[in-house]
Amino acid sequence: MKARSAVGLLAAGAALAGAIVFVRTKSQVEREHVDVYFADGSMVSLEAGSADGDRLLPLARRALASARG
């Protein structure tokens, strides 16, 4: 009976770990952002929903579409 409990706990832990990895990966994939690099080597990341991000994202989409053809 102890072996069965251990296997059950191990399976539940593996399922939980898999769910956490899936949720973290899914949330990272869908975040759209613009990274702005400056001459001094600094960088700022602007996400959708911020004032500057909402202004730059359409321009970035058009630039990428033009570059891809």
Does 17 score more than 60 pLDDT?
Answer: no
Pick the closest to residue 63 from 40, 20, 34, 30 (CA basis).
34
The answer on 26 and 36 residing in a single domain is: no
Q: Whole domain around residue 25: which residue ranges?
A: 1-30
Q: Are residues 18 and 41 in the same domain?
A: no
- Lowest-confidence segment of 3-12, 19-28, 36-45, 56-65 by average pLDDT: 19-28
Q: What share of the chain is helix, strand, coil (3-state, %, to 5)?
A: 65, 15, 15
Cα separation, 12 vs 54, whole angstroms:
41
Average pLDDT estimate for 31-50: 89
pLDDT band at 23 (very low <50, low <70, confident <90, very high): low
pLDDT at residue 31 in the model: 78
At position 58, the amino acid (one-letter code) is P
Shared-domain flag, residues 24 and 38: no
Give the chain's mean pLDDT: 75
Contact present, 58 and 42 (Cβ < 8 Å): no
What is the tally of structural domains in the chain?
Answer: 2
